[in-house]
Structure 1
Amino acid sequence: MSNNHSKTHSLPSSWSTHACQGNYSVVERITTPLCRELIEMANALKSLDPTSSYIFDNGAGTGILTAQLKAHNSNLKIFATDISSGMIQSLQSTIQEQTWYDVETAVADSQDLTSVTPITSSTRPTNNGNQELPKHTSLSDSTFTRALSTFMIGSVEQPHLAIAEMHRVTAPNGILALGAWAGGSWGPVWQIAVCLALGDESYVAPRLMHQDWSELDDVVCGVEAAGWKVQQSKIQKANWGFKDVDEVDRYIFEGGNPIVGLLMEGFEGEKLEACREGFTRVVREEYHDGRELCETAILLTAIKK
């Protein structure tokens, strides 16, 4: 496996920084409709009844999926985790603003849920302004009736461990609802831009998603290898919703997305500026000024047998 995945996974602080920037709204814009669709798929399999459901939002980020779950039914009980404390602190702010009393949060590595760090609105600040974290705890076997995860799985170092952990903490006959990116659109655009700017036709852009978890059949196989029985799986296109090439440029080069940032590793100074110009040219000419930029999402549901 390439080092790109371990770098992405091992830098939760970079996700914390990204969460604090205004450009994160771009992520919310593209993923919110997909989260709604995944919730509908899970609900069609078995109704989301707040009296009997305890939902695990794994890789919750700033809480985009959690918010859509609460919009679906405000009484749902949710436990949301992310490897980035900054993401969870952002979600905690939303919880307080929306007065969601039945949403718990924790900092956790999705690949090992035996050690999670709960964070609540009462977590105390230290003298340096950081949060004083409570002691670690463990998520027990068969804790949840449903495990949901959106667009985290392809960016962790060992996705099969994350899927296995979700299986472990979900009760028998519980449901998995999973969203994954199928490869990502930015790599091909960047590759063309580098060829245009530097004349380097041998350059190959790095993969931004795990190579074994970016095709529908591979994701289905990976999920079932962990003990799940897939019920429904499909591909769905999602438009980024950019208004023009300038918005695309700001998001890619100034937005602080740590995954997108992998593309620019090794590029700096005049070389980076030339490739940036090439990038905007490709977006303008090939993607209708950025308005036709899309991602391909993999959505599936499964049952724990």
Structure 2
Amino acid sequence: MEAINRVRSICVMGRVVDFSVPAVMGIINYTPDSFYDGGKYRNPDAVAGHAVRLAEDGADIIDVGAVSTRPGAPGISEKEETGRLAEALEAIRKELPEVILSVDTWRSGVAEIMIRDYGAGIINDISAGRLDDRMLDTAGKLKVPYIAMHMQGTPATMQENPVYRDVVNDIILYFSERVRIMRDAGIDDIIIDPGFGFGKSVDHNYEIAARLKEFHVLELPVLAGFSRKSMIYKVLGRGPGDALGGTIALNTVAVMNGAHILRVHDVREARDTIEVAMRLKRVVEHGK
């Protein structure tokens, strides 16, 4: 428990995000082909409208991506990704000038433009700097919080029979090495994401969820991103549109195990989950 208590906050754009209660990161995928909400927001006005709803529901951070990373999804050029994100962030900023924006990209050039010119304050990189060898130096130069996710392989190959000796220990060792490299690059605020669904079997995902507390040995904020993923809907025998209940269940587990950020499509439900789970957590830990 001591390692959990050491993680208090991060600084984003001169503001403090306090982790005494888990933060909620609302998801916007400005894509035609993401697994759940791809194609829902077809123009910047629709994106901005959804961002307003997420903020009204209690999102602390809004994470915007323009490239689907589901297995088999086609890639897009850096120019197209930059264009999509630029128009999305510009539209959101007009409606929500104070909201904390995170940009979901593994490309250093895209990240730099979104931070420098379009008001993003966090980089969320599915590859932890492995897909673009300039990303870590860029994040260090920009002095913004950096979310580093674990992914075995690439989005195209990650679900081809993923194998681990011990999935949690292997990921902790991976982060130990990556965090050292990130520190050397000048990144101060690092958030780790175990990468549910990225190069893991369903069983791997549930083992990580059950052992999430072990990641606190790294003494860094932990992000949990289960929202409507296949690890839920495959177990339930449904589609992602009918996976909210399972998402709430796993988010409860994450909060009980000390997660600092929940990355979700459904912000209002996540806020309710946090309020109830934190009440239970206090009883479990302190008897009141």
Fold shared per TM-score above 0.5: no
Q: TM-score, normalised by structure 2?
A: 0.32
Q: Of the two structures, which has the highest relative contact order with CA contacts closer than 8 Å and spacing of 6 or more?
A: 1
Q: Which has the higher strand share?
A: 1
TM-score, normalised to structure 1, is: 0.31
Larger radius of gyration: 1
